[in-house]
Structure 1
Amino acid sequence: MINLGISILIGLVAFAVFAVIFSPFAAIVPFVIAFLAAYIVLTNRAMKQVGAISAQAQKEMQAQRFDKAIETFKRGFALEKRQLLVGPLMHANLGTLLYAKGDFAAARPHLEKSNRWGPVTRTMLGANYAVLRAMLACDHFRNRKYDEMRATFETAVKQGKKDGLIWSLYAYCLSKIGDREGAMKVLGRAADANPNDEKIKANQLALQNNKRMKMKAYTPQFYQFHIEPPPPEMGGAGRRVVWQRR
């Protein structure tokens, strides 16, 4: 927000100068040019700082120093008031990391705040937005907030229409709470959006035959949503599952 304010101020200075020398009408274009130039420069400067923070956090994660990665991402909030959208981006990173780490209570507010700017956030985060919403939906599932779970999963599949795992997670959670019919409808929508996805077809067939859905096909990503503990070959229930980007 600070960068936006500074850019507007620079634009107004340009407007005032040209309005005095020429006319208010002639000052409109200089205002726009000055505003955009200032905002682009200031935004690039801020995003370079964000990039440096993210790169450092990634190094910490690769070294399995997750607590340090969390603290590194938190430093990004110092830029939240300076640059638009930095806040949701930092919340998204922290929410994902804390959730994958298994600290659900700490992850929850970050997952919620990552959606602060709505459509703008969806565009900025792209496919990761669907993952964030699915994590929050799974958190609602664990806390038996099933209405919130359904609503949040709907936003997840809307963004991740081509992501079979997100659809299958939605259906799986519905089947776990006894809503087999709802799960079938979700998989039907998933199949319409992904007609060549064999994993979705296999899960449709499993539900039709009153069998459990085959979520192991989505290993290891499925276990990063903490709906079920990983199998023994992945370290069992005691193993910490760390988020892997697909």
Structure 2
Amino acid sequence: MFNLAISLALCLLTTVVLVNPVGLDLWLASLIALVLFTLCYLLLTRTVMKKVANLMESAQRDLQGGRVDKAVKTLESGYRFANWQFYVKAQINSQIGTLLYLKRDFAKAFEYLQKGFVRHWVGMAMLAICYMKRNQTTKMVETFEKAVAANKKEALLWALYAYCLEKVGDKEKAEQVLEKGLKKVGGDERLSANLEALKEGRRMKMRAFGDLWYQFHLEKPGAVVKEQTRAVMGRRKIVRR
């Protein structure tokens, strides 16, 4: 990466100059060069990441305006920074894949999510769900395992993992995932409630996670409204009696 290469070059040049023309001891020259390397690398990294952040903000404005295709193109323009900083391209791929997934363009989203960033837990969860829908359960599990290893404190991620396991028929492992998630997160009422539900033979309820849950397109908000309406109508019938 260019940031690292430039910083290393400056470090070596500084060491040579301080040792030969200046006459400093090698250890002292190396120490000064290391400080300069660190400052240079941090400065270059901050500069590049600020430009990437500006692109992200621009894409967000496009998204809010309903211009999804333009948002994707804006993000893709950030590929020019890929050779400057580690993981930039992977992060951009995750962002693009997430946008396309939200748009329900699952096939195209899958292409980007496969090349995404492991610490982007939303993108990783979406990728795992794509594998599930393609009946690639082993890949689904592998992806979720990578995601929870890198994002241990995300309660929804653990819940999604368990939900998908239950959906593919592995209820026992779903319970194990929720138990492990509770330990990693440090306790969460939603995880506890779902673990209890599975142990009692009931299905998991994910609505407590709100809008974050619905972005994964595993349940439609409209279905919840219909269910609530049926429940209300049922109560009304009981009252009438």
Q: TM-score range by the shorter chain?
A: 0.7 to 0.9
Q: Given the two structures, how large is their TM-score scaled by the length of structure 2?
A: 0.81
The TM-score with structure 1 as length reference comes to 0.79
> Which has more radius of gyration?
2
Quick one: distance in 2 between partners of 1:33 and 1:75? 33
Q: Does 1:35 align with 2:37?
A: yes
Gaps of 5+ in 2: 226-241
Q: Which amino acid aligns with 1:176?
A: K
AA in 2 matched with 1:208: K
Identity %: 38
Contact 1:130 / 1:155 at 8 angstroms: preserved in 2?
no
Q: Tell me if structure 1 keeps the 8 A contact 2:116–2:124.
A: no
Contact 1:15 1:28 in 2 (8 A): yes
Report if aligned partners of 1:187, 1:204 keep a CA contact under 8 Å in 2. yes
| Cross-structure match for 2:13 | 13
Higher RCO (C-alpha 8 Å, min separation 6): 1
CA shift for structure 1 position 76: 0.6
Cα distance, 1:34–1:141 mapped onto 2, change above 3 Å: same
CA gap of 1:6–1:161, structure 2 versus 1, over 3 A, is closer
Offset at residue 220 of structure 1 (A):
2.1
Q: Matched residue of 2:215: which SS? A: helix
Change (3 A) 1:195 1:90: closer
Q: Distance in 1 between matches of 2:98 and 2:124?
A: 10
Q: CA deviation at 1:179?
A: 1.5
Residues 122-177 of structure 1: CA distance to partner in whole angstroms, max 9, x if unpaired? Answer: 4xxxxxx3322211111111111101111221222334433332222112111111
Aligned residue among 172, 175, 179 for 1:181: 172
Tell me the number of residue pairs that the alignment of Structure 1 and Structure 2 aligns: 224
* Change over 3 Å in CA distance of 1:53–1:19 after alignment to 2: same
Greater helix share, structure number: 2
CA shift in 2, pair 1:135/1:29, >3 Å:
same
One-letter amino acid of the counterpart of residue 7, structure 2: S
Alpha carbons of 1:233 and 1:179: their partners in 2 closer, same or farther (altered >3 Å)? closer
Q: Are residues 1:136 and 2:127 paired?
A: yes
- Structural mapping, 1:156-195, within 5 Å: 156-194=147-185
Deviation at 1:44, TM superposition (A): 2.6
Q: Contact 2:59–2:70 (CA<8 Å) still a contact in 1? A: yes
